[in-house]
């Protein structure tokens, strides 16, 4: 049986991690759209940077965020003794 204070601390850290990931996601997805006109002055491989961030850059960041969240969650699971048995 897992103590309620351990679960409470676990979910507190997990929520903080989730909010940080969502904040980064929000800034990347909406921030690049807001400043697209400024980003379009820079070109990468012949494409405006605003287009590149919308088409490729944001997707790359989202994949990285998912991998990071997965790794950090596994670390939290081990820290609190909640990891899955193999």
Where residue 81 falls (left for φ over 0; alpha for ψ -120 to 50; beta otherwise) is left
Per residue of the chain (86 residues), give pLDDT as tens: 788 898 999 999 999 999 999 999 999 888 878 888 888 898 888 888 888 777 788 889 999 999 999 999 999 999 998 888 76
Please say whether the beta carbons of 44 and 52 come within 8 A. Answer: yes
Residue 65 lies in a domain: yes
Residue 37 lies in a domain: yes
Residue 8 lies in a domain: yes
Q: Give residue 69's domain range.
A: 4-79
Residue 86 lies in a domain: no
pTM tops 0.85, yes or no: no
Count of structural domains, the chain: 1
């Amino acid at each position: 049986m897992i103590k309620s204070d351990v679960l409470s601390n676990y979910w507190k850290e997990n929520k903080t991690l989730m909010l940080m990931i969502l904040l980064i996601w929000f800034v990347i997805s909406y921030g690049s759209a807001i400043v697209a006109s400024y980003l379009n002055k820079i070109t990468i491989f012949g494409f405006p940077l605003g287009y590149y961030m919308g088409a490729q850059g944001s997707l790359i960041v989202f994949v990285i965020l998912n991998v990071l969240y997965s790794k950090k969650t596994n670390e939290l699971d081990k820290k609190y003794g909640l990891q899955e048995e193999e």
